[in-house]
């Protein structure tokens, strides 16, 4: 028998499938609702949770400091070096009250006033960073780390250290806490010394502590070393003698420059008073300024040898000419006079006795343009281009505005201003047979910019004249150098004030070279306002020249060329 299914009766299998589909659909919809609800909860209602989780671990890039280059003297002795140190900082938001005893211990270790950390926290209750101590020794930092303080962090840095302290302070200069050059050669050669910082990728935790290094992005490039022309042995010798002279003469300040006569290298540049660049609290600008290169003064009679050389080389005077210096020399309504009545003087006598009247007569024989040209080519009124930041240019008025009396005063060093370095550079023309050298603070073998100023014959003739200045009847007997011939010139200059030149305020100057027959070194000494009774350059500055020159020549192992002024050694 055959049975037929009623078409109007639902199929059971189809009904079962529809039920299952509804269940799956309801499940999917419920899951989507849960996800949407969770998303709304996390992103709208409770979004801080995701932020906190993101802060717990995140990747960031940090700088890697480059090692700052060394500054060294010509023999490799370090004048400025960088040493690794640590700085301590805190996140005030993380400091816990229960750590109070440990915080007091930290303040004691760091020699901070009690309550200093509390003061930093209260200064700004919203900030998350504050330095507690900068650039402390790693040993001290380790002692603080033992306390395991929450919210206290450590940062590796470099600190600049100056082994020679006050001796080379004005020359080398110093950096700030961020290791950026502020003064001296540290500032002038900042780009070369600083190097290039690197970077690395790190993972930080929620307290911004580095918990893992991910990768090096860029390696730091260390700064380059700076090899100076300075000889630290001579620098120290000059510093010591200049300090003694300032104390002995109760002077306001003093400067001294030592040049290599053969190539213009600066072997020493010293100032008094000085400062310690390693501990420079309450430091005034006037104390750290390198006066030997940046400050100027009227050179006085130290320029007279150039007037004689210019007049000889130009043919305006003859080697056998003589000059009458009796009485006063009238120039219009002005008068030039000497300290004493020297009578009739030849060229040698003019320099030996330092006659203002005689050099004034010479100056007036030369055309103003020629006379100005000599001074200008010597570097007066022009920066010496030593590479030191802020070096002086000095001043020299244009010859078109000169009157006769201006030419006269310029011949004995008034109306023109120079730095000690500029004056020393000018003396290379007399020391190296008429060659004017450029100057350099960097070590070099030869001078690529040397140029001829005077003829060999003129330079040697004037140099021989300057030897007589150091004779007993000259103006600088105290400048004699034991074991060596020497030549030089004194200068005693009244200082200018607001209302003109001031009585009893002087620059005491001496410029000279040795050995006289073939000079190796040039030294310029300037003492500002000696007040112990003596003020002549031949008495105040000449003895400093003598001691520094003798010591420097022996340091450089220059053979003595004289026996008559050698010290007598007593033996038993």
Which positions are annotated as active-site residues? Answer: 301
Cα 267 to chain centroid, rounded? 15
How do 521-528 and 71-72 pair as beta strands? unpaired
Structure tokens at 237: 């010798």
Residues 124/45, Cβ–Cβ less than 8 Å? no
Owner of token pair 């300290």:
339
In 3-state terms, what secondary structure has residue 117? helix
Q: How far apart are CA 265 and CA 262, in angstroms?
A: 8
> How many angstroms separate the CA atoms of 521 and 237, rounded?
14
In angstroms, the first-to-last Cα distance of the chain is: 159
DSSP per residue over 59-81, as a string?
EEEEEEPPPPPPEE-TTS-EEEE
State whether the Cα torsion 359-365-369-374 is positive or negative: negative
The rounded distance, in Å, linking the Cα atoms of 501 and 15 is 122
Q: Are the beta carbons of 511 and 548 closer than 8 angstroms?
A: no
C-alpha of 381 from chain center = 22
Query: Pick from 567, 549, 566, 569: which is nearest to 558 by CA?
Result: 549
Residues in the chain: 572
């Amino acid at each position: 028998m055959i049975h037929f299914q009623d078409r109007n009766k639902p199929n059971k299998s189809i009904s079962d499938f529809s039920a299952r589909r509804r269940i799956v659909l309801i499940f999917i919809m419920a899951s989507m609702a849960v996800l949407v609800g969770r998303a709304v909860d996390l992103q709208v209602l409770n979004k801080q949770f995701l932020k906190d989780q993101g802060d717990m671990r995140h990747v960031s890039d940090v700088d890697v400091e480059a090692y700052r280059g060394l500054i060294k003297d010509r023999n490799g002795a370090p004048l400025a070096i960088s040493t690794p140190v640590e700085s301590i900082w805190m996140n005030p938001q993380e400091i816990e009250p229960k750590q109070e005893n440990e915080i007091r211990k930290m303040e004691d270790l760091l020699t901070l006033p009690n309550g200093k950390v509390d003061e930093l926290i209260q200064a700004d209750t919203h900030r998350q960073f504050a330095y507690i101590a900068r650039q402390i020794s790693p040993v001290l930092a380790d002692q603080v780390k033992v306390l395991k303080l929450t919210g206290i962090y450590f940062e590796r840095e470099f600190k600049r250290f100056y082994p020679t302290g006050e001796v080379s302070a004005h020359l080398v200069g110093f950096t700030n806490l961020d290791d950026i050059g502020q003064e001296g050669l540290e500032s002038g050669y900042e780009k070369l010394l600083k190097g290039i910082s690197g970077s690395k990728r790190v993972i930080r935790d929620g307290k911004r502590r580095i918990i893992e290094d991910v990768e090096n992005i860029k390696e730091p490039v260390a700064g380059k070393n700076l090899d100076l022309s300075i000889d630290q042995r001579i620098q120290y010798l000059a510093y010591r003698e200049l300090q003694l002279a300032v104390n002995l003469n109760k002077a306001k300040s003093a400067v001294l420059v030592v040049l290599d006569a053969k190539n213009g290298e600066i072997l020493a540049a010293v100032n008094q008073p000085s400062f310690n660049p390693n501990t420079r609290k309450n430091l005034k600008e006037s104390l750290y300024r390198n006066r030997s290169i940046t400050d100027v003064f009227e050179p006085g009679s130290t320029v007279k040898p150039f007037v004689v050389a210019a007049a000889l080389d130009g043919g305006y005077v003859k080697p056998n000419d003589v000059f009458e210096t009796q009485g006063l020399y009238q120039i219009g309504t002005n008068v030039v006079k000497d300290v004493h009545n020297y009578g009739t003087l030849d060229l040698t006598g003019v320099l030996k006795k330092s006659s203002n009247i005689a050099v004034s007569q010479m100056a007036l024989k030369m055309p103003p343009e020629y006379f100005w040209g000599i001074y200008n080519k010597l570097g007066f009124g022009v920066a010496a281009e030593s590479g030191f930041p802020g070096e002086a240019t000095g001043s020299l008025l244009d010859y078109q505005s000169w009157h006769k009396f201006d030419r006269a005063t310029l011949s004995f060093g008034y109306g023109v201003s120079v730095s000690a370095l500029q004056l020393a550079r000018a003396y290379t023309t007399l020391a190296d047979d008429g060659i004017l050298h450029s100057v350099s603070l960097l070590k070099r073998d030869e001078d690529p910019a040397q140029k001829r100023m005077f003829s060999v014959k003129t330079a040697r003739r004037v140099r021989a004249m300057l030897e007589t200045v150091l004779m007993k009847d000259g103006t600088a007997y105290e400048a004699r150098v034991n074991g060596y011939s020497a030549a030089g010139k004194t200068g005693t200059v009244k200082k200018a004030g607001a209302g003109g030149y001031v009585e009893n305020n002087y620059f005491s100057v001496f410029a000279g070279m040795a050995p006289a027959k073939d000079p190796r070194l040039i030294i310029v000494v300037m003492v500002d306002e000696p007040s112990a009774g003596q003020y002549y350059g031949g008495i105040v500055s000449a003895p400093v020249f003598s001691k520094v020159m003798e010591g420097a020549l022996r340091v450089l192992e220059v053979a003595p060329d004289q026996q008559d002024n050698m010290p007598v050694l007593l033996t038993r």
